[in-house]
């Protein structure tokens, strides 16, 4: 359902261009975000609201009713003896989650007991939000009580509710139809305690008769008592996902299995910066009734079955590709680019749209579709061309950790295509517009572990290859001081070469924002970096689609390169590789989690300058070369001066997506950061007494 929007680490100095560019460019991503806070869910991901719209089609009112029969009471902690620290003026005294998978329509029972110990905590007990999918879910409030001075006061009849649409990805053309019920509880005061219990009933009929649920075992805020109890038919599987093993009990009784946790006091978890998405930092208990991955594959295949004979429109397109491109590999490429570029990405996940793709005729009629619709269309075209192909389920950000989860289709947020031709396997992204290159040098995604929906699917498949994905950029800057005064502006030229995945990204950036706007962004950046910049040669783009290589060139008149003399008569030239930045997302050794890297980035920044000038100067510069290599990344730094030409050459390559930090990595990263600082050339215009001008040493240093 989404192509992950993976933004590489950007150099701080180059952030102006990158920010403007990435604001204009995105990969469509309809995969919901991680669950916010402490939420038990029937999905692996729960959307977060960025926009709230009135749910005008909804005429629902808040319903009160008894708790399900399976609920077992959990004693409320005594606020007087509770040791949990408040957060934002409130203390979470109890969080209780109960669920019986044998009766999924009864829903997930949730109970929160929250004490407002300060005025700031009143918002936590007076306004409450509950997410739901109105297609098949509803909310029943069991109890809404304010405890004041030891007395329990019911708020039934004094709770107002608004059901609002939440569309977190609306700006990206994704409409989910998800709603949030906003409860407003009357007459709450500092020192009050809210005891609220409710159930979100209903289950997605497309997943029946199977079920998957996630239950939190930790929180970013402290909890005096956290309790989980869930009953499942025998044969369900469970995993504790997270940074540590938790005390989950498993009890078998009368044909069912009961999983339990607590009640336990929970200390707040401090989230660590830079952890990869496939390494959850908040442990959860996940239980699934899907017996194995083969059953998930059987379920998924049912949505992508093709007719025995293609319809007329599919057959006509296949005939067109076959006639225009003789070789099957070129026919496949033509079909892929048609779906990528001619079908605009748009996801309307209403009705059955969460899992069921739009028909090929509907997609061709509207010329829009999400990853499911685009996948089905590409499969139909390839089938008409006689090319073997299958749908593939993936998670765009956490795929490398899927082997730690029980089988479930709810673990996936994306579908794409695997094609097999002449003994080769190709991973094809129909949702990625603007991709180019021949079939054999086209960049392919790497989502880690995926489920290929072929007839033999029984386990997850790794997309990893011996060669990392091609995603390289070479940024060349050049200037010339010869035959001009140090006080004159000079010409500053760039040549930027993107290959592979980076070429695909920048091709889409240009498509979204236009070459002129990108030119303005470059000019704005150089106006800051080089004090002033006036466009000399307009930005040009050369696109070699067959090799998937994109080259930008331009030049500017910039301010004098050499700074004015300081009090000691020293003038400087400062140069820095502004497109390069960190290769590790964090470098603190004292941590529990692995660290994400800039993978699959491969960046090179070269600065070439003729630094001899008209008054004559003979620099005394020593060549240098430093190389740092470890399991996470490689970095090289070279300086060379010959016949008046200074060359600074920096290169970075990330080797794997995430690593467990070692002292060597941290030290290499520190050394790399030092070399990414400005390279400084110093010119002494007033030599020390007794020394001739032509004997003054000029030096280069970082």
Q: Cα 10 vs. chain centroid, distance in angstroms? A: 15
Q: Are 43 and 212 in contact (CB under 8 A)?
A: yes
DSSP, collapsed to helix, strand or coil, labels residue 126 as helix
**Which one is predicted more confidently, 24 or 2?**
2
Q: Kindly report the CATH number that applies to the domain delimited by 31-289.
A: 2.60.40.3140
The confidence band for 305, taking pLDDT boundaries of 50, 70 and 90, is very high
At residue 600, the pLDDT reads: 87
609-663 tens-digit pLDDT:
988 765 545 567 889 999 999 999 999 999 999 888 899 999 999 999 999 999 9
DSSP, collapsed to helix, strand or coil, labels residue 24 as helix
* CATH architecture of the domain with residue range 298-462: Roll (3.10)
Q: Cα 96 vs. chain centroid, distance in angstroms? A: 31
Give the phi and the psi of residue 63 in degrees, each rounded to 5: -110, 135
Residue in the block written with tokens 């910049």: 533
238-264 tens-digit pLDDT:
998 875 556 899 999 888 999 999 899
CA angle 604, 548, 434 (to 5 degrees): 110
List CB contacts of 462: < 8 A, sequence separation 6 or more.
448, 449
The confidence band for 467, taking pLDDT boundaries of 50, 70 and 90, is low
CA-to-CA distance for 304 and 262, rounded, in angstroms?
A: 43
Class of the CATH domain delimited by 471-701 = mainly beta
The confidence band for 8, taking pLDDT boundaries of 50, 70 and 90, is very low
Q: What angle separates helix 515-529 from helix 15-24, to the nearest 10 degrees?
A: 160
Query: Structural domain boundaries of the chain?
Result: 31-289, 298-462, 471-701
Q: Which pair of tokens denotes residue 7?
A: 């933004």
Q: Are 597 and 633 in contact (CB under 8 A)?
A: yes
Fold agreement between 31-289 and 298-462: no
| pTM, rounded to two decimals | 0.84
Rg over CA atoms, the chain: 30
**What percentage of the chain reaches a pLDDT higher than 90?**
61
């Amino acid at each position: 359902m989404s192509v992950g929007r993976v933004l590489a680490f950007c150099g701080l100095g180059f952030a102006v261009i990158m920010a403007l560019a990435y604001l204009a460019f995105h990969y469509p991503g309809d995969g919901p975000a991680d669950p916010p806070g402490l939420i038990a869910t029937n999905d692996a991901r729960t959307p977060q609201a960025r926009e709230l719209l009135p749910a005008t089609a909804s005429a629902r009112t808040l319903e009160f009713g008894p708790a399900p029969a399976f609920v077992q009471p959990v004693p409320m902690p005594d606020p007087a003896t509770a040791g949990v620290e408040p957060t934002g003026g409130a203390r979470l005294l109890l969080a209780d989650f109960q669920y019986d998978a044998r009766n999924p329509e009864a829903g997930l029972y949730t109970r929160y007991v929250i004490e407002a110990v300060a005025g700031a905590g009143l918002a936590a007990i007076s306004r409450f939000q509950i997410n739901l999918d109105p297609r098949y879910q509803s909310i029943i409030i069991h109890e809404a009580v304010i405890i004041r001075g030891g007395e329990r006061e019911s708020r039934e009849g004094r709770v107002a509710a608004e059901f609002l649409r939440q569309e977190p990805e609306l700006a990206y053309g994704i409409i989910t139809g998800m709603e949030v019920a906003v409860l407003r509880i009357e007459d709450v005061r500092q020192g009050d305690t809210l005891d609220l219990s409710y159930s979100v009933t209903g289950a997605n009929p497309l997943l029946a008769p199977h079920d998957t649920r996630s239950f939190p075992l930790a929180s970013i805020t402290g909890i005096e008592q956290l309790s989980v109890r869930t009953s499942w038919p025998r044969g369900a599987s469970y995993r504790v996902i997270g940074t540590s093993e938790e005390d989950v009990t498993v009890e078998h009784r009368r044909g069912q299995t009961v999983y339990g946790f607590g009640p336990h006091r929970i200390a707040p978890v401090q989230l660590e910066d830079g952890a990869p998405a496939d390494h959850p930092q908040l442990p959860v208990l996940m239980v699934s009734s899907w017996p194995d991955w083969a059953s998930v594959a059987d379920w998924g295949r049912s949505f992508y079955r093709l007719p025995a004979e293609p319809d007329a429109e599919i057959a006509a397109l296949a005939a067109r590709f076959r006639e225009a491109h003789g070789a099957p590999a070129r026919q496949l490429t033509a079909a892929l680019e048609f779906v990528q570029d001619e079908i605009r990405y748009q996801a309307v996940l209403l009705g059955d749209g969460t899992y069921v793709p739009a028909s090929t005729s509907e997609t061709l009629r509207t010329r829009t579709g999400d990853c499911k619709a685009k996948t089905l269309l590409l499969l139909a075209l390839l089938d008409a061309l006689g090319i073997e192909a299958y749908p593939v389920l993936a998670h765009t950000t956490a795929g490398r950790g899927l082997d730690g989860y029980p089988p479930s289709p709810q673990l996936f947020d994306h579908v794409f295509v695997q094609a097999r031709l002449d003994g080769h396997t190709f991973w094809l992204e129909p949702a990625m517009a603007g991709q180019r290159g021949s079939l054999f040098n086209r960049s392919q995604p790497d989502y880690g572990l995926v489920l290929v929906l072929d007839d033999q699917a029984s386990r997850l498949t790794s997309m990893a290859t011996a060669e990392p994905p091609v995603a390289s950029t070479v940024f060349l800057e050049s200037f010339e001081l010869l035959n001009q005064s140090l006080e004159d502006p000079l010409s500053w030229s760039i040549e930027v070469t993107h290959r592979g995945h980076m070429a695909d990204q920048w091709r889409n950036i240009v498509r979204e924002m236009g070459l002129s706007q990108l030119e303005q962004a470059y000019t704005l950046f150089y106006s800051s970096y080089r004090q002033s910049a006036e466009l000399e040669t307009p930005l040009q783009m050369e696109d070699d689609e067959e090799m998937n290589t994109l080259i930008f060139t331009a030049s500017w008149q910039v301010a004098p390169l050499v700074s004015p003399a300081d009090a000691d008569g020293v003038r400087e030239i400062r140069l820095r590789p502004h497109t390069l930045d960190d290769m590790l997302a964090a470098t603190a050794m004292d941590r529990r989690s692995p660290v994400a890297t800039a993978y699959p980035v491969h960046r090179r920044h070269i600065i070439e300058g003729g630094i001899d000038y008209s008054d004559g100067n003979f620099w005394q510069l020593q060549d240098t070369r430093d190389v740092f290599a470890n399991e996470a990344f490689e970095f090289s730094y070279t300086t060379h001066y010959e016949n008046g030409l200074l060359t600074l050459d920096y290169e970075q390559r990330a080797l794997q997506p995430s690593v467990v930090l070692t002292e060597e990595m941290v030290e290499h990263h520190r050394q790399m950061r030092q070399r990414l600082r400005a390279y400084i050339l110093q010119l002494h215009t007033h030599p020390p007494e007794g020394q001739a001008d032509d004997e003054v040493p000029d030096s280069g240093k970082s």
